[in-house]
Amino acid sequence: MSRRNERGSVSVELVLLTPVLVGLMCLTVAFGRLQSARADVEAASRAAARAASFERTVPAARVAGQRAALAELDAGGYRCSSLVVSIDTGTFAPDATVGATVSCTVHLADVTGMGLPSSHTMSATFSEPIDRFRGTR
């Protein structure tokens, strides 16, 4: 059997498969970036709720929650283009809960061109109980 008929077939296969492999790699990067951003947003909402639950007044709880969320996102190395941190202190009293919602916009502009949206907004909510045996003053 002669192998002359198959000369150059590896080159043709490589040329045909390269765009598919590059596309899969870009999808992997995009989904990895989304998952990493989701984890950072969830960690920021947990940190914000926890910091707010330690404070004694509503204004101090809101400021502490905002600062904790920003610090957590900075520690993760991620910068949101649009960041919204909302601290729910509706019933700020012992034995109640404090909620924190963090929304962040993730940009995928460098991996677009494959049908992916150029940005995606992620949101996470977490609540933390306020200690029953502490004062509010």
Helix 9-54 × helix 58-75 angle, to 10°: 160
pTM: 0.77
Please list the pLDDT of the chain residue by residue as tens digits (137 residues).
555 676 667 787 888 888 888 888 878 887 887 888 889 899 999 999 999 998 888 899 999 999 999 999 888 777 778 889 999 988 888 888 999 999 988 776 655 555 666 778 889 999 999 887 765 55
